[in-house]
Every structure is written in structure tokens, then in C-alpha cells.
Amino acid sequence: MWSQIKTAFSMLAVFTVLTGLIYPALVTGLAQECFPRQANGSMIRRAGKVVGSGLIGQPFSDPKYFWGRPSATLPYPYNAANSGASNLGPSNPVLLSEVRARVQALRAADPEDRADVPVDLVTASGSGLDPDISPAAAFYQAARVARARHLKLSRVRRLIARHVTGRQFGILGEPRVNVLKLNLALDRMR
Amino acid sequence: MTGNDYLQVALLLGVLALLVKPLGGYMAGVYEGRIAFLNRFAAPVENRIYRLCGVDPAEEMHWTRYALAMLSFNLLGMLAVYALQRVQAHLPLNPEAFPAVSPGSSFNTAVSYATNTNWQDYSGEATMSYLTQMAGLTVQNFVSAASGMAVLVAMIRGFARDAAATIGNFWVDMTRSTLYILLPLSLLLALVLVSQGVVQTFSAYRTVPLLQPLHYRAVRQSGAGQRITDAGDNPVTEKLVRKNQLIAVGPAASQVAIKQIGTNGGGFFNANSAHPFENPTPLSDFLEMIAIVLIPAALCYTFGSMVGDRRQGRAIFAAMAIMFVAMLVPVEHFEQAGNPLLAKTGVSQTANALQSGGNMEGKEVRFGVVNSALWATLTTTTSNGSVNSALDSFTPLAGMVPMGALQLGEVVFGGVGSGLYGMLVFAIIAVFVAGLMIGRTPEYLGKKIQAFEMKMAAVVILIPPFLILVGTAIAVMIPAGRVAAANPGPHGFSEILYAFSSAAANNGSAFAGLSSNTPFYNTALGLVMLFGRYWLMVPVLAIAGALVRKKKVPVSAGTMPTHTPLFVILLIGTIFIVGALAFFPVLALGPIAEYLKMVAVH
Amino acid sequence: MTTASAATRSPRHALVTRSILRRALIDACAKLLPQHQWRNPVMFVVYLGSILTTVLWIQALAGHGEAPAGFILAVTLWLWFTVLFANFAEAIAEGRSKAQAAALRSVKRDVLAKKLAAPKYGSTTTTVGSSQLHKGDVLLVEAGDVIPADGEVIEGVASVDESAITGESAPVIREAGGDFSSVTGGTRVLSDWLVVRVTSDPGHTFIDRMIAMVESARRQKTPNEIALLILLVGFTLVFLKTTATLLPYSLYSVRVAKAGTPVTITVLVALLVCLIPTTIGALLSAIGLAGIGRMLRANIIATSGRAVEAAGDVDTLLLDKTGTITLGNRQATGIHPAPKVSEHELADAAQLASLADETPEGRSIVVLAKQRYGLRERDVHALGATFVHFSAKTRMSGVDLNGRQIRKGAADAMQAWVEDRGAQYPPEVTRLVNDIARRGSTPLVVAVDSRILGVIELKDVVKGGIRERFSELRRMGIRTVMITGDNKLTAAAIAAEAGVDDFLAEATPEAKLALIREHQKQGRLVAMTGDGTNDAPALAQADVAVAMNTGTQAAKEAGNLVDLDSNPTKLIEIVETGKQLLITRGALTTFSIANDVSKYFAVVPAAFATTYPQLGALNIMHLATPQSAILSAVIFNALIIVALIPLALRGVRYRAVGAARLLRDNLLIYGVGGVIAPFIGIKLINMALVWLRLA
């Protein structure tokens, strides 16, 4: 019995070193060597300065920016140090009222548009950090952004079209638009 | 579902089918020690480990000894993870200076990782130091998976060996599983994931500027972290501004790779695989899904190969694949149909070229409905339990399927090792009833199924429903259990039921609205995870020990074939009857009631 | 040929008689005692549930009811009916056994025995009661006497009427020595006398064993039954948890939905009883008893239920060639003279040598010579010939006539015989002998003095239809092995003609034993029949051993089944009966569990109707009211037991169509049928309740 425990203990020690220290260190070494940008958070640099992560969304509420997905992170939205979803059940009245409020906010910012709001624009994402919105959600906001920035609608729409990431290899995932990158591009339009 | 949705599902199943045979054959070779390449180049490392730990690799174990070795190793692992969490503040690789984890949470997490459950009552990026994530959680991701595989291999030997006394050597099976299967696959996957954007660094969290500063209201807190309230006992809020975003990073890729390959599922970050740093692109999503189901599926082939009849493995695989598709279809359907309550809010939930539509609450745009539903089904039919979307926000019937998959005992692919050994227990029961129906003492793979095997098989199928139903009953009877539910009505009931289902099935996914980091849930779910794992593993080993002694009955025309479509149907029927019948009433009070109420309102 | 005739011959084995029914109704109530219920865990749960709802009903009468007293009473009554129906099923099966036992007991009257002072005929006798006889006592039994105890004939020959046990009216011959030496107590000597040594102590006679068996007093559960019971208890526990935890769930649901009342205990008990496998639980012991009963109707006595069950598992049958595969008698079919001998000369000598031979083989030679060579049958005594009887030592027979020694016998015996007389054994004859043997026939060499005249061919006649029978067995997955004393060549030819899978030639008791062990080592289950004392070791070794009732006491002791008809072909029926037993259990288990699906659709919407009226969408049978829905399910659950009693007693028919097809068919009937049937049944019952204004 005692020798059994001793064996178990030594095995645990060996595997802790092997899989808990050597393995992550090896992966880190290789990752930093081969994919340093990705391994460190896929940061976007403008003029040598980091302006955000291409994978982590940021909160927007100004009419002149495209808004991203609602975020349910605590204590404030898009808290990238505490990711999470709303976990509201589909039948939860709170969900219904939040969606209604978001639709209201969008309509208030652009009273002329009576089209149905794309669902991803009024529902919280799974991570609370979703960097993307659907192309439909981007085009839905085009008129508001164009007006706020005094740009021609067609220009804004073209900008969106350029920022649509298609399905990977034409099959995987869904078409999407990275909100931060789109807004950075907007800021550079004059 | 759109045409492209079908294509994505078909691609996943197609790639999986292609990989099953080579990996399954390789694993059979590993356990039988006949991979020439490994024997030449890797054996010295393996033997060195044995020498270091005083293991005689040639020693064959009786099932009781095998079980004892497995249990003692797992127990020590649990203690190590517990200790590591409690003292992480004093250890290196803690750039965010996280304090010690609370005892209750530490216990829950230690049990959770050792049992291959990876239930998380904590938020990874706000709780665990890098060292805890690596030397505690990542290690358990490897060895708990390897333990499951070892128990499965022991059971396969019970069928394969003819009138023998022993079922192999736990240390050898565990070491080979880790060294030759889990480690190489994880290394490969980790690097591919990094290329897609999964972070892998030891540096501290990054601060980046916000393009638009964030103004928000928050409850004012005193210095001691207490909420400050006004005279009317309402919380006092204050206006705050943030100009920066603190982005959590860490050695995530190495842990994410093994959490998928070992069907563990515990996220490096709180949002788990919905987090862009764990699962940044549709390709990473696809590869992680393959990784989740790869070993459980390939083990079917390993099984067929080791018992000397590949058709047997194929039949089991077919049963799993059919059940998987049968479960996937309703999830996809109900999620794509969207939330009926949002129909009148001026929201467009229909799919078109510019949006995936459907029920997007809790989902990420890059995955849309199809990959979220696919992921949810995959991770709950296997014992993975990672999530790339919030299951709590799934529409009722779509959420019921993952819950049902847990309650069926996670045998559709299932956990690495545990899925197949659970499935084989169901096969034993199916064979027993069917065997009677053809007028013979039932036998499976030439081994007669008699009273002792039935007794152990009955224990295996009895324990999970017992843990789930009784656990949920206790939780809904006491205030500490009831208050944790975040959602009202039957959905809150579903949250509690899901938690116990997940813990008993060692899955780890959650209807995450449930506030489970409380003394009651930490203890109750911890115990359920423990019993759900070892109360099954030990009887399974007992079955292996009993079977291995039996003489193989030669096949004749009177033998019930267990590789035919008929047997596949029978097996599925047995799983459905045993699983679904036990849970139908309780599901009626949760998701079914919620669904019918929603439809009625609509 | 056997089962059917046995059944018609034995009217006492009719499925159920009126008196059995009457008796069973009384017994069903008597079995309500807890010590009896406890033996069947599934039904014990129903029993406890019935008691619980009875208490609830009384409480409701007192005005503190959780539901209307009428409803509780209705459920309670039907729960008690469920228990009673289960008791009834068991009582019927037991009743039939008891009737069989009573018939047997009537045979076992206390008769007076003539005990001999010394073990030989003519010794002084004392009269004692048969109940005072012990092993080793020697008795005299004369014409008209009932044989007082089981025993071994040590002197004398007599015809015995064994119809009391076998139902066969034709008398049988019992004589000292050989394989027809055992007699059974209760049978009657018709002519002559016998000196019998008693082989059993009082209370342990063959009839006692039969009675004990059929009365099931000492019936122990068979291994398969135990395994099945474990599974059933497993299911019961699963559903116990499912229903018991519904109470807290319901309380919680009422709290969060803020509507309705919690589910009542009565409904939960009703749901529990509907879900647990009561159908198979109620019929399980009846099925087992019926299996033994079916054996009895086929005139087979099983010494244990285990043997009946094992019969279904058999995968190798060892069959004696003679009597089972071939007709007992070989027929002379050809005459092959040696060189320079005419056919006529050989036929003449062969006929002379066989004149005194009363065996069927001998007779067939005489007939052949007469039919083919016109040789009239001669009166041996008139010729003044002396017979030479066959003996195991000389292995030849014949006559001595006018100084000529005419002999016929086995080739090697004849060769030795002529060579002893200095003559040469012609090589052509050896060739002839081999040719005949290769054809599967038995060569019989004929010689006069030292001169070999030629060979007579005796052909084994394979029974009609036996080939088809064996291919049927093959489809069942059963290998057949023919056992014969013939040489390899002969055996191979007959084996090929009969279509057996394998054969054992020149079989000795040791070879048989070795063969059985060999098969068992490969993991096979072996069945065999045997009658002689020298079969005893092999019978003891075999997993299923059928001893012929005509056989010796030793053989009967060694076997676990005794065939009263002494028909070796019956082994096949025995296997089928064994399979039938298992199939019936499997089919009813499947049916029982498959029933649960519909019961959920009846009970679940009804149980939570007040809290979640939306669950009414699950009421796909459109049952009138929640209470009538629950009641309908409970009534169906009780009535299905009664409806299936005949099936349990008769058994599900076994067809030799191969395992896969059999499984498919039974799954379709009892699995799919088990899902569908209760939907219809419950709906019909509900309609009836509505019509009767009970709903």
C-alpha cells in the first residue's frame, strides 16, 4: 500500500514537471518564436503605438462610430479582464426588456430607419468581448454613421464592404465585420 | 439551416471520419506496445520514467490493484491542485498578484479537474495565477484524461483476453496515453491555435487605449468592498470613466489544446471557448471541435482493433454518430428559429447572406448559430464541457438537448475513455435483454454476461441519475440551493438541474447564470463529481476483472451479432430507454414547460 | 413426433383447467402476506405503494385528503388488483404444477413390498410397507404387483406397465443386466417376476424428485433469472428515484410558477407503479414454472430449472447414431461374394447363419436371401443345426450344421477365425469390406469353416427428415456431433448422409468424456443423451444431460433431465424449450419497459396540470381529465398482466431462423409493439371510463 502511494506520488511529480512546466514552456518558446504577434494578443499598431487588440472588442456608443455587440461583462461592458455572457434565459423578462431598450437606443440614434434591427446588434455576445458584428448589423448603422460624420452613405457602405471578412476558406464560420478595425478606418477617412 | 451550414457540419464529420482510423490504429498499437518507431526512439524516455518512479512495466495487475493505483494517483492529484490554489500568492508566475483561492472553491476546482469535469465556479483570468493554470490545471487535464483512457483499455482487455486474471498495468497505460497520444497531439494543436491568435505568453495583462472612452455607472463601494447604500437602502451609484482596456493574456494555447484533446473543457478565461483569445477564428473553432471529439471517436476503432474484430468498433461508432446527428438537428433547428419572444420587438432573426440570424444572445458573430449549436452538441455529448456560446441563453428545447446528452451518461463519443466504457456498459445491458430475446445466455464479444456483470452494470447506470435527481431535489428544497438560480420560472429550475447533470456526467459545462461559487454548490457539486467519476470507474474495472476471467465463447449462427445495423438500433434504443425514461418528468418541469409557456405566450 | 403426441396423450397437462383457476384465485389472495411479497422486489414496491395509498384514502375519508377520496380509492383498488393479478399469474403456474404433482403422487401409494431375505429368487419373503424400504433392500415383484420403489433388476425378466409415469400404454421389458435393468416405483409388473434391489431411500425416489420439482417447493432461481432480476431491480430503483424526486421538483415549480398545487403522493405512487417493470416482474416466476411445465408436457422431467435454462444455451449436441440419426436397425442390402464363390452359395450360407438370429439385422438377411435369391426360409430345428449365439468375446454368430461351421461376423473377427484354422484371408475380401465401410454400411463377413465366402452389406438407414433437422440446428447455431461405435469410414459416410457437423467413431465412454471436455474447453455448452451405465460419466460431465427413462439408474442419476419417452431425438425439443423460456423473459422485459413511453404521455401532463397547464400539449392521447388519464394508465398496467398470462404460460414461440432475424422480429413485436400497444390500450380504457361516466 505504502509503496503504491509512493509510486503515485513520484508519477504525479514526474507528470507535473513534464506536462505542467516543460510542455507550456516549450509551447511558449515556439509560439514566441514563430507567431509573436498572435501569441501576445494580436495587437493593432498605428504609428508604432498599440491602439487595441484585433481580437478583443471595445465599447462604442457614439453615433459617429459603429456600435458593436452589447456586452454583459461586469462591472462595465467589454471588460477584457473578466469575460462573460449575460446568461439570461430565453424566457427571462429582463432579456426582453434589455433587447427592447437596445432597439429603442438604435432607433433613437437614427429615427428614420424603420427596418428590423439585426439580432446580433441587440443581443449580448458569449464572451462580452466579441470583436465582430454581422455585415447586416454594419450596413444597418451605415446611414447613422454617415450622417454623424457628414460622409456620403455610399462611401461608408463601401468602407464596410471592404471590411467584411468572409467565411474562412469560403466555408467555415460566418461573414463578419471587425468593429474596432472599421472604426479605426473611419477615423482615418476625411 | 442554410446550405453552407450543412456543409460545415458535413465537413466536420467527414474530417473526423478520415482521422478515426489512423489515430485509432495508432492508439491500439500504443497500448499493445507494437509501434516500432516509439519502441526504438521513445521507449528510453518511458523506461526512465518507470525507473524513476519504481514502476515495473512488466507487472500485470488484478483489477483491484489497478483500481487502487488509479484512485491513489487521482487522489494525490486532487490534493496537489488544492494546495497549489491555496498557496499561489506565494509562488512565482503570478503577475496579477492573485490571492489564494477560497477553500471551498479550491476543493471544488481540485475535484473538478481530477475528475475530468472542469466545472468552473471561478473566473480564470480573475482568479488563477499562471502557475496554477499550468502546474495544477493543465497537468490534471493530461492525467485525468489518461486515467480515463487507462480504465477503458483495461475494460477492452477484459473482452480481448481469454480466461486471464489481470487487466494490464495502470502506470504503463497512463504513461503511454500521456506520452504518446495526448502530449504530441496537444503540442501540435497548441501551435496551430497560436497561429490563429490564441495567446501564449508569461507576461502580465496588457493595457490598451479605448478608441471611445467609456462612461458608465457603477455601484459605489467602500474601501472594504462593501456596497454603499442611501437612506432608502438603495445602492448609491457613481459615474465613472474608463479610457483604457485591461486585456487578460497568459499561457492559454498550451492549456486550451489539452482541454479540448482530453475532453476536459476548463477554460483559461471565464468565457471559455467563446473568448476570442481561446477561440479566435472559425478555423480555430473547427480544429478545436475536431480535437474535442477525435480521441473519443478514434477509441472506437482502437476497441475494435484490440478485441480483434473491427466491425465491433464500427458498430459502436455508428451508434454514436447516429445519436450525435439526431441530437444536433433539434439544437440547430431551435437555435436558428430564434427566440419567439423577440419576434415582436422589431428584431430580425432570419438568416440571410449578411447575418446568421437566429438566437444570438450569448453567441459570437464569427461562429453564428451553426457553429455554436454544433459546439454545444459536441461538447456535451463528449465530456468536454467547454462552451463557445452561453448555453443558459439557448432556447429551451435547444438547451434541453445538451442537458439530455449529459443525462444519457455522455456516451455519444463521450469523454476520452469514459465515453466508450460507458457505452460498453450500455452495450452489455442491450446485449443482455436482446440475448434473452434470442434464447441464449447473453454474451458480448464472446464473454457471457451473468449476474455479477449485471450487478456492476446496474450500478453504473444507476449512479448518475441518482446523483442528478437527488442532488437537484436537495438543491430546490433548501434556500441555499434556490437563491443561486439567476433566471425566473422553469428556466431557473433548468439551471440547477443542468449543474447537477453536468457534475454527475463529469462534463463541466453550465447554464452559467447559476451562482455556484457558494458553500452549498461547491460542496454538493464537488461530491457529485467525485461519485460520478469513481463510482463508475470502479464498477467498470470490476466488470473488466470479471470478464477477463471468462472463456471466450466461439461465434456460431446462434450468437447474436453485435456489429449489425440492428444491434446499432438496439443499442441506441437501450440508451434512450434507460436514459430518457429516467429524466422525462424532470425535463417536463424544466425546458419543456418553459418551451410550452413561451409558445403559448407567443 | 414427440411434443404433439405427448401433449395429446396426456390430457392432464391441458393449459389451464377450471379447477386450477378456482384454486389460483384463492391462492392469489393468500399470497398477499408480506413474507411472500418480499420475494419479488418489483412487486413488493407495488405492494408497499398499495398500502401507502390505502392509508392516504383513509386519511381522505377522515377529511384530510390530498385528493378526492374517490380518486384515491380508485387508484388504490387498481394497485391492489395489480398485486393480485401478479399473484394470480404465479398461482396459475403453480396450480398447473400442483395438478401434475398430484397426478404423480397418486402413483406413489404406500404399497406392500415383499422383502427377500437373500438377494435371489425363491428366498423367504417378509411383507413390509414401501415407505419402510431402504437402499440395498431386495424385493420380489410378481405379475400384478406395483413396484414399491426405484430399483435395479438383479434377476428375472418381466413386462412392466410404466404408463403411470410416461403416459405410454405399451408395456416395456425389464431384465437383469444391460441397459434395461432399472425400474421405477409406482409402475406395475404385468407378467413374470423380477428380483429388484432398491436404489433409493424413502423420500428420495424418482417420483419424489419429480414431485418436488413440479411443486417448485425447492425451486431456486436460475442464474439467468438472477441476472434479469438484478436488471429489473435496477430499473425499479431508477424509476423510484425519478418519481420520488418529483415531489420536491413539483413543490419548487409551484413556488416559481406561483400557480397550482404540488403533485399528490397518490399520483406519484401511480406513476411509479406504471413505470417500474411490473409486467415482467409479475410474470417472471410464472414463466419459469411454465418452462418446467412445458418440459413435463413433453414428458421430460427436469431435475432443476437451471437445466431447462442451460438447454437454451447449448451449442453442441452429442447424438448417438443409433436410434437418433439412423433407424435402430440396419438392413441387409447386398451380397458380395469372394472370388470363385457364387452369389447363390453366399446367400445360402448367409441365410443359414442367420436363421436363428432374431435380431432385426439377422431377419433382414434371411429376407434378402429369400427375396433376391428365392431361398426359402428353413426350419432350423428341422435341419438339426446347433446355434452359435453372438457373444462380445467371439463377435460372431452362426450355426453348426452337418459338421460345417457356418459363421458371420465382423471382418477382423472373421479374419482371425480363418487364420486360426490355417487358412488364408483373401485380400479381395478386405477390399470388399473397405468398400462397404466407405459407403457407410456395415460389412458382415460370412465363412464356412475356414473358407471365406464373401461379405453381406448391412446398411444403416438414416431417418427421414433428419438432415433438415440438422440444418435447422445449424441455423440455430448448434453443432451436431454423431457418436457411434462404427469405424471411421462407416461413420464418415453416415455423417455425410445425415448432414451432421462432426462425428466420433469407435466411441468408447472415455472417448465420449474426452470429447465433451474438449468442447467445453473451447467454451461450448454440450448436451447429450445417454442410457447405459457406461454413459454416466459423460452424462455427468455434459452441461445438459438427458437420460432415457429406459436407461439404467446410474444414467438417470447422472442426467439432469430424464426423458420419459426415451426418445433420443427429443434433445432438439429440449433445446427449443430452453430457448423459449429465455425468449419469453426477454420479450416481456422489453415489452414492459417499452410500455413506459406511453404512460409518461398519460401521467406527466396530468400530474402537473395545475402548475403548468401548458404541459397539456403532451396529452397526445387526448385523455379526458387528469384524473382519468392517471387512472387509465394504472388500469392498463394492471390488465396487461392478466392479458399476458397465457403468453407467459405458453411461451413465445421459438423459430430456428438465426439469431439476427429472431432478434429483429422479437424487437419489432415486443419493442415497437410495446411502445404502441399501450397508447391504444390507455386510450380505450379512458374512453370506457368516460362512457361509464367514471371520468
Q: Which residues of B touch A137 (CB under 8 A)?
A: 355
Separation CA C268–CA C278 (nearest Å) = 16
Amino acid at B508: G
**Nearest Cβ partner for B191 among A24, A27, A129:** A27
- Is the CB of C659 less than 8 angstroms away from the CB of B436? no
**SS3 label, residue C504:** strand
CA C631 to chain centre: 42
pLDDT in tens, C372-407: 888 877 776 777 778 887 776 777 888 888 888 888
Q: Cell 413465445 maps to which residue?
A: C652
Considering only alpha carbons, which residue of chain C is nearest residue B475?
C248
Catalytic residue among C27, C137, C208, C320: C320
- Is the CB of A174 less than 8 angstroms away from the CB of B209? no
Q: Give the C-alpha distances (Å, rounded to integers) separating C581 from A181, C89, C99, C214, C588.
A: 75, 16, 21, 16, 11
Separation CA C332–CA C366 (nearest Å) = 9
Can you give the residue range of the structural domain that contains B238?
A: 206-247
Asked if the peptide bond before residue C11 counts as cis, ω within 30 degrees of 0, the response is no
Task: Return the higher-pLDDT residue of C345 and A28.
Answer: A28
Which residue positions in chain C have pLDDT lower than 70? Answer: 1-16, 107-109, 164-170, 178-179, 206, 209-210, 212-220, 328, 380, 392, 532-533, 568, 695
- Of the candidates B219, B220, B212, the one whose C-alpha atom is nearest the C-alpha of residue B242 is B212
Q: Residue B80 domain-assigned?
A: no
Whether the pLDDT of residue A46 is over 80: the answer is yes
Separation CA B131–CA C219 (nearest Å) = 66
Whether the pLDDT of residue B24 is over 50: the answer is yes
**R_g of chain C, CA atoms, integer Å:** 34
- Give pTM, 2 decimals: 0.88
Residues 6+ apart with CB under 8 A from C319: C325, C480, C481, C482, C483, C500, C528, C529, C568, C571
CA B270 to chain centre: 16
pLDDT in tens, B138-159: 999 999 999 999 999 999 999 9
β-pairing, A117-118 vs B347-348, is parallel
The number of folded domains in chain B is 1
Whether the pLDDT of residue B127 is over 50: the answer is yes
Return the minimum-mean-pLDDT range out of A93-102, A155-164, B23-32, C347-356. Answer: C347-356
**Nearest Cβ partner for A126 among B216, B219, B389:** B389
**SS3 label, residue C389:** coil
Asked if C320 is an active-site residue, the reply is yes
- Of the candidates B186, B203, B1, the one whose C-alpha atom is nearest the C-alpha of residue B96 is B203
- Is the CB of B566 less than 8 angstroms away from the CB of C664? yes
Q: Residue B12 domain-assigned?
A: no
Residues 6+ apart with CB under 8 A from C681: C636, C639, C640
Task: Return the higher-pLDDT residue of B219 and C88.
Answer: C88
Task: Return the higher-pLDDT residue of B552 and B499.
Answer: B499
Q: Which residues of B touch A118 (CB under 8 A)?
A: 347-348, 354-355, 357
**Nearest Cβ partner for A92 among B134, B248, B488:** B488
Q: What's chain C's average pLDDT?
A: 84
pLDDT in tens, B77-110: 999 999 999 999 999 999 999 999 999 999 999 9
pLDDT in tens, C629-667: 999 999 999 999 999 999 998 889 888 787 888 899 999
Lookup: cell for B470? 437527488
B587 touches chain C (CB under 8 A): no
pLDDT band at residue B229 using 50, 70 and 90 as cut-offs:
confident
**Nearest Cβ partner for B566 among C597, C654, C660:** C660
Q: Residue B222 domain-assigned?
A: yes
Q: Which residues of B touch C226 (CB under 8 A)?
A: 451
C382 touches chain B (CB under 8 A): no
**Nearest Cβ partner for A90 among B346, B357, B395:** B395
Q: Residue B220 domain-assigned?
A: yes
Separation CA A180–CA B219 (nearest Å) = 28
Q: Which residues of B touch A124 (CB under 8 A)?
A: 361-362
**R_g of chain A, CA atoms, integer Å:** 22
Q: Give the C-alpha distances (Å, rounded to integers) separating B480 from B515, B518, B524, C255.
A: 10, 8, 11, 15
> Residue B6: what pLDDT?
92
**R_g of chain B, CA atoms, integer Å:** 24
- Is the CB of B556 less than 8 angstroms away from the CB of C477? yes
Residues 6+ apart with CB under 8 A from C501: C470, C474, C479, C480, C481
> Residue C421: what pLDDT?
86
Considering only alpha carbons, which residue of chain B is nearest residue C593?
B577
Using an 8 Å Cβ cutoff, are C57 and C72 in contact? yes
Using an 8 Å Cβ cutoff, are C315 and C543 in contact? no
**SS3 label, residue C532:** coil
**SS3 label, residue C419:** helix
- Is the CB of A53 less than 8 angstroms away from the CB of B4? no
Using an 8 Å Cβ cutoff, are B549 and B163 in contact? yes
Separation CA C165–CA C588 (nearest Å) = 33
Q: Residue B229 domain-assigned?
A: yes
Q: Which residues of B touch C252 (CB under 8 A)?
A: 476-477, 482, 493
**Chain B closest-CA separation from residue A70 CA (Å):** 9
> Which residues 521-540 on chain B approach chain A with CB closer than 8 angstroms?
none
Separation CA C61–CA B217 (nearest Å) = 62
> Residue C4: what pLDDT?
35
Q: Residue B213 domain-assigned?
A: yes
Amino acid at C227: A
pLDDT in tens, C4-56: 333 333 434 455 678 888 888 888 888 888 888 888 899 999 999 999 999 99
B249 touches chain C (CB under 8 A): no
β-pairing, C326-337 vs C451-462, is antiparallel
Q: Helix C626-650 to helix C571-594 angle, to the nearest 10 degrees?
A: 180
For C262, the enclosing helix (H) or strand (E) is: none
Q: What are phi and psi of C359, to 5 degrees?
A: -70, 155
Is C touching A (3+ C-beta pairs, cut-off 8 A)?
A: no
Q: Which residues of A touch B80 (CB under 8 A)?
A: 12, 16
Q: Which residues of B touch A161 (CB under 8 A)?
A: none
Task: Return the higher-pLDDT residue of B406 and A189.
Answer: B406
Q: What's chain A's average pLDDT?
A: 95
Please name the residue ranges forming H helices in C542-625. Answer: 553-558, 571-594, 596-607
**Nearest Cβ partner for B584 among C474, C600, C614:** C600
Torsional sign, CA B29, B428, C237, B324? positive
Residues 6+ apart with CB under 8 A from B71: B534, B538
Separation CA C654–CA B558 (nearest Å) = 12
Using an 8 Å Cβ cutoff, are B510 and B499 in contact? yes
C668 touches chain B (CB under 8 A): no
Lookup: cell for B222? 467602500
**Nearest Cβ partner for B588 among C248, C608, C666:** C608
Q: Residue B1 domain-assigned?
A: no
**Chain B closest-CA separation from residue C228 CA (Å):** 8
β-pairing, C502-504 vs B443-444, is unpaired
> Which residues 607-626 on chain C approach chain B with CB closer than 8 angstroms?
607-608, 612, 614-615, 617-618
B200 touches chain A (CB under 8 A): yes
**Chain A closest-CA separation from residue B288 CA (Å):** 13
C-alpha angle B93/B291/B155, rounded to 5°? 100
Separation CA B293–CA B331 (nearest Å) = 18
- Is the CB of A127 less than 8 angstroms away from the CB of B594? no
**SS3 label, residue A42:** coil
Q: What's chain B's average pLDDT?
A: 93
Q: Residue B2 domain-assigned?
A: no
User: Neighbours of A (≥3 Cβ pairs closer than 8 A)?
Assistant: B
Average pLDDT over residues A43-50: 92
β-pairing, C441-448 vs C404-409, is antiparallel
**Chain B closest-CA separation from residue C405 CA (Å):** 55
Whether the pLDDT of residue B419 is over 80: the answer is yes
Q: Give the C-alpha distances (Å, rounded to integers) separating B79 from A9, B105, B106, B170.
A: 11, 13, 10, 20
B556 touches chain A (CB under 8 A): no
**Nearest Cβ partner for B559 among C230, C312, C477:** C477
**SS3 label, residue B552:** coil
Q: Which residues of C touch B557 (CB under 8 A)?
A: 474-477, 658-659
Residues 6+ apart with CB under 8 A from A140: A106, A113, A115, A117, A118, A121
B565 touches chain C (CB under 8 A): no
Decide: residue C478, CB within 10 A, 0-12 exposed, 13-18 middle, 19+ buried.
buried
**Nearest Cβ partner for B392 among A51, A87, A123:** A87
Q: Which residues of A touch B488 (CB under 8 A)?
A: 89, 92-93
Whether the pLDDT of residue A162 is over 80: the answer is yes
Is C touching B (3+ C-beta pairs, cut-off 8 A)?
A: yes
- Is the CB of B588 less than 8 angstroms away from the CB of C476? no
Average pLDDT over residues A78-98: 95
Using an 8 Å Cβ cutoff, are A77 and A70 in contact? yes
What is the distance in angstroms between the CA of the first residue and the CA of the last residue of chain C?
54
Using an 8 Å Cβ cutoff, are A94 and B329 in contact? no
Separation CA B593–CA A89 (nearest Å) = 13
Q: Which residues of B touch A92 (CB under 8 A)?
A: 487-488, 491
- Is the CB of B487 less than 8 angstroms away from the CB of A88? yes
Decide: residue A49, CB within 10 A, 0-12 exposed, 13-18 middle, 19+ buried.
exposed
**Chain C closest-CA separation from residue B405 CA (Å):** 17
> Residue A61: what pLDDT?
94
Q: Cell 427566440 maps to which residue?
A: B339
pLDDT band at residue B602 using 50, 70 and 90 as cut-offs:
low
Interface test with B, best of A87, A163, A176 (most B CBs within 10 A): A87
- Is the CB of C234 less than 8 angstroms away from the CB of B432? no
Q: Which residues of C touch B434 (CB under 8 A)?
A: 586, 663, 667
**SS3 label, residue B296:** helix
